[in-house]
Structure 1
Amino acid sequence: MRLSGLQKEVLGLYRQCLRECRKKPQATRQHFQVFARSEFDKNIKVDKRDFAAIEFLLRKGRRQLEIYSSPGVKDIR
């Protein structure tokens, strides 16, 4: 099955989130993984043809990733 450009971007963002989780302390790594998964699950029902919503969520996700990937952030709840 071939993926559209937006689908590739969403998967890429998810992979990037998981990579950043591995940089966090071992004790809190699970919290970051659960948070990332829950954020993607919240929006799983968005219609794949709703490009405006998907692009908005991608921008929001990238901003969140930038904040949470900061070395000063040790835990998330």
Structure 2
Amino acid sequence: MRLSGLQKEILSLYRQCLRACRSKPEAKQAHFRSFARNEFNKNMGIDKRDFGAIEFLLRKGRRQLEMYSSPGVKDIKSQ
């Protein structure tokens, strides 16, 4: 199955999130993975033709990744 450009961007962001988890303290990595998984699962129901919403969520996800990738962030609370 071929993926669209947006689908590739979403998968790329998800992979980046999982890689960023590995830079966190071992005991807290599961919290970061769980948070990332929950954020992506929360938005699975969005219509694939709703490009505005998808692009907004991609930008939001990139900002969150940048913020949570900071070395000063040691733990995250899943919501």
What is the count of residue pairs matched by the alignment?
A: 77
- SS of match in other structure, 2:40: helix
TM-score (norm 1): 0.99
* Structure 1: 5+ residue stretches without partners: none
TM-score (norm 2): 0.97
What do residues 8-64 of structure 1 show as CA deviations (whole Å, max 9, x unaligned)? 000000000000001100010000000000000000000111100000000000000
Structure 1 runs (4+) deviating above 6 angstroms are: none
For residues 25 and 8 of structure 1, the distance between their equivalents in structure 2, rounded to whole angstroms, comes to: 29
Name 2:66's counterpart in structure 1. 66
Q: Aligned Cα RMSD in Å?
A: 0.3
Name 1:2's counterpart in structure 2. 2
